[in-house]
Amino acid sequence: MPNATQPPPPRTPSGGPAAAATFGKIDKPAPRAHRPSAPDYERIARSPEFLDRRARLRRFAFPMTAVFLIWYLG
């Protein structure tokens, strides 16, 4: 666009140049919290609670799979 002009800078009611917006005087990002380390999967896999849950899952899942297949094929 030939002869395009830019708008004049904003002014305050008293006629002076307007200050840049500060959004509540926040000019820096918030500090980031320290990220916790990753879970220790090896320790979790060896824990008695995990081993018990895994055994209970097997005792439920495999028989139910067999029951479903017998029902489906029957």
Task: Please indicate whether residue 56 or residue 3 has the higher confidence score (pLDDT).
Answer: 56
pLDDT at position 1 over 60:
no
Task: Name, in order, each residue with C-beta under 8 angstroms of 9's C-beta and a sequence gap of 6 or more.
Answer: 17, 18
Task: Please indicate whether residue 70 or residue 31 has the higher confidence score (pLDDT).
Answer: 70
Tally the residues of the chain: 74
pLDDT per residue over 15-59, tens digit each?
766 666 666 667 777 777 777 788 899 999 999 999 999 999 999
Cβ pair 29, 20 in contact under 8 A: no
φ, ψ of residue 14 to 5 degrees: the values are -80, -5
- Tokens of residue 40, six digits: 């220790």
β-sheet bridge partners, residue 11: 17
